[in-house]
């Protein structure tokens, strides 16, 4: 057994930013991550990070745009922290060495992003996440922070309402380990891979959320998942919103721009839920081409495309066979971001003592029913730092409670059952079924009948989990076994999402019910909470923090 003061699960931007604060506070912190730190999904972030850096802009305007973008479901106390602390966090990253594009005067350049009243997205071409994650990783290395790379956490250990540590599998050997600590911080990213078409890394399977749920913590607003308007036709790879921020258009199969019909003021730069629905309506009305519309960058010219959007060009050529300098790129909406997550307060605390969450896996909630582009890297950094400081304060005075005797034995038993089953169901077939069901029944448009069908399908597939047999029964790098563990999370997350979506009889942000097409503040201005108790889901609700901006009709 290893012992640390604090264990951070996840080496994305949120986890590593928090770990740096914990080390600065003089604590013994360790990071556990199932992929190498710089393969965390944060590295794939393209378009940029928001902050009101310019005198003509203000954190209050940023806050208003974020609250409006969230369709007024975001908690405004948390949004205020996000927007107020944004500029100092960017400057801090800059001092650490993060590279940003510059304007003529040498200041950090900012581009326009969807749903924003001001061009406030700082960026490095279309590789912003890459720049930021590498810089934070350097800070982790510089402080000698202990890392368990390619260790997959299988259980968060909670006894008598207190987190005691985790159990993880070391991928290289297949060995199970106990990691004992005073506090556990979950920073495990999103659940985009619950869907078959997603921009997310294969590792974004919602593990931390489902581990927290099993440990007794509630998940919040899981029905809200963002569909990004521009993902490649064949692979679902992201084409950043920065492409529209730089002046790219959307056109239908007839070559006509269509956003004026759906968002007459903001056009292509309306918020993502609005643009995704507009595309789907064009496609459904017969103006699409084989389920797609097109992102047209041709008028930007080769120089600008190569300078500002080099990765977009490269990805479009390699994965779609289309050079954006010469041809429009076929795109469709794809699952991109998880607004829902582990319910926490503004300091990242869950209701379980010693268990915290930050980044995309947490739900504070700053994004409410729809996230604005550029606000998520920001959340990872601002709340990574803030929650890191909060956990440090907690861990300095907290006691190390004993690690339950039988925890390791129980975890080993569950894995042995899976490894020793000689005949049974194929995990890949089950995961495929769940993803297809979620895509079909819990996508951009939803209704009662379809959601009920989706729930029945997912439950049917979930019943087969205990019958899975593996082809690979070896110990070393058994990724098939890991995929089965992830499937367990995917199934739980899917059920929580479907339940939240089925109960929420209104349309708000990314959640569009064709049978309840309008927002209903009287009955639904509240967060959905999902608990798992004795193997059964229970749904509850919680009020929204509204401080500065009263809900109003949302128009772009």
Q: How far is the CB of 93 from ligand FAD (least distance, A)?
A: 13
Q: How far is CA 117 from CA 250, 360, 377, 428, in A?
A: 20, 24, 19, 45
Q: How far is the CB of 232 from ligand FAD (least distance, A)?
A: 11
> How far apart are alpha carbons 430 and 335 in whole angstroms?
20
Closest CA to 259 of 238, 274, 241, 239: 274
Closest CA to 448 of 524, 527, 503: 503
- 103 contact partners, CB below 8 Å, separation of at least 6: 109, 110
Q: How far is the CB of 168 from ligand FAD (least distance, A)?
A: 6
- In contact, 114 and 269? CB cutoff 8 Å: yes
Positions marked catalytic: 272
238 vs 392, which CB is nearer to ligand FAD?
Answer: 238
Distance of CA 464 to the CA centre of its chain: 27
Q: How far is the CB of 383 from ligand FAD (least distance, A)?
A: 9
Closest CA to 360 of 31, 36, 17, 42: 42
- In contact, 393 and 182? CB cutoff 8 Å: no
Q: How far is the CB of 335 from ligand FAD (least distance, A)?
A: 10
338 vs 450, which CB is nearer to ligand FAD?
Answer: 338
| DSSP label of 253 | T
- Among all chains, which residue has been given the structure tokens 């399977």? 205
300 vs 381, which CB is nearer to ligand FAD?
Answer: 381
Q: How far is the CB of 374 from ligand FAD (least distance, A)?
A: 5
- In contact, 280 and 445? CB cutoff 8 Å: yes
486 vs 506, which CB is nearer to ligand FAD?
Answer: 486
Buried b (16+ CB within 10 A) or exposed e, 270-288: bbbbbbbbbbbbbbeeebb
Q: How far is the CB of 410 from ligand FAD (least distance, A)?
A: 17
Q: How far is CA 263 from CA 258, 269, 279, 488, in A?
A: 9, 9, 12, 40
Considering all CA atoms of the chain, what is the largest pairwise distance in Å, rounded to the nearest integer? 67
Residues at the contact surface with ligand FAD, assessed by CB under 6 A: 9-15, 32-35, 40-42, 44-49, 128-129, 152-153, 187-189, 199-200, 203-204, 207-208, 238, 337, 359-361, 373-378, 380
Record the tokens describing residue 283, joined without a space: 């496609």
45 vs 278, which CB is nearer to ligand FAD?
Answer: 45
383 vs 401, which CB is nearer to ligand FAD?
Answer: 383
41 vs 513, which CB is nearer to ligand FAD?
Answer: 41
């Amino acid at each position: 057994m290893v012992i640390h003061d604090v264990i951070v699960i996840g080496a994305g931007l949120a986890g590593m930013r928090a770990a740096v604060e914990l080390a600065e506070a003089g604590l013994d912190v360790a990071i556990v991550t199932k992929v190498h730190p710089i393969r965390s999904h944060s590295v794939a972030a393209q378009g940029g990070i928001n902050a009101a850096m310019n005198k003509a802009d203000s954190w209050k305007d940023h806050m208003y745009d974020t609250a409006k973008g969230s369709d007024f479901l975001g908690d405004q106390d948390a949004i205020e922290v996000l927007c107020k602390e944004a500029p100092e966090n960017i400057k801090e990253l800059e001092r650490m060495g993060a590279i940003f594009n510059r304007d003529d005067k040498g200041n950090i350049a900012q581009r326009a992003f969807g749903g924003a009243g001001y061009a406030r997205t700082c960026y490095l071409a279309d590789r912003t996440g890459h720049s930021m994650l590498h810089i934070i990783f350097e800070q982790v290395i510089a402080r000698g922070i202990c890392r368990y790379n390619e260790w997959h956490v299988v259980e968060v250990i909670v006894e008598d309402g207190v987190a005691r540590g985790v159990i993880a599998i070391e991928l290289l050997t297949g060995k199970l380990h106990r990691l004992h600590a005073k506090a556990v911080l979950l920073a495990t990213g999103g659940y985009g891979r619950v869907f078959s078409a997603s921009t997310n890394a294969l590792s974004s399977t919602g593990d931390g959320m489902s581990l927290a749920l099993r440990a007794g913590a509630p998940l919040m607003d899981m029905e809200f998942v963002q569909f990004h308007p521009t993902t490649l036709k064949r692979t679902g790879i992201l084409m950043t919103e920065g492409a529209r921020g730089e002046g790219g258009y959307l056109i239908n199969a007839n070559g006509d721009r269509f956003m004026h019909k759906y968002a007459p003021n903001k056009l292509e730069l309306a918020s993502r839920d609005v643009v995704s629905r507009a595309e789907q309506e064009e496609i459904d009305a017969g103006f699409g081409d084989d389920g797609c519309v097109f992102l047209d960058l041709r008028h930007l010219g080769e120089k600008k495309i190569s300078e500002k959007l080099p990765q977009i060009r490269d990805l479009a050529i390699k994965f779609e066979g289309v050079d954006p300098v010469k041809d429009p790129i076929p795109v469709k909406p794809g699952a991109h971001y998880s607004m829902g997550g582990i319910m926490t307060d503004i300091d990242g605390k869950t209701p379980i003592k010693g268990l915290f969450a930050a980044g995309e896996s947490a739900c504070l909630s700053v994004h409410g029913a729809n996230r604005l582009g550029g606000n998520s890297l920001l959340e990872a950094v601002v709340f990574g730092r803030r929650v890191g400081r909060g956990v440090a304060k907690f861990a300095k005075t907290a006691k190390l409670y004993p690690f339950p005797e039988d925890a390791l034995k129980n975890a080993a038993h569950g894995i042995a059952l899976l490894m020793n089953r000689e005949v049974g169901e194929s995990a890949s077939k089950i995961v495929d079924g769940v993803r297809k069901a979620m895509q079909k029944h819990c996508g951009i448009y939803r209704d009662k009948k379809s959601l009920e069908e989706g729930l029945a399908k997912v439950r049917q597939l979930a019943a087969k989990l205990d019958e899975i047999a593996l082809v690979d029964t070896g110990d070393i790098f058994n990724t098939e076994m890991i995929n089965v563990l992830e499937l367990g999370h995917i199934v739980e997350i899917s059920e929580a999402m479907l339940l939240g979506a089925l109960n929420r009889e209104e349309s708000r942000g990314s959640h569009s019910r064709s049978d309840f097409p309008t927002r209903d503040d009287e009955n639904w201005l509240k967060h959905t909470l999902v608990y798992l108790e004795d193997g059964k889901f229970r749904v509850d609700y919680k009020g929204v923090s509204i401080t500065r901006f009263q809900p109003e009709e949302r128009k772009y």
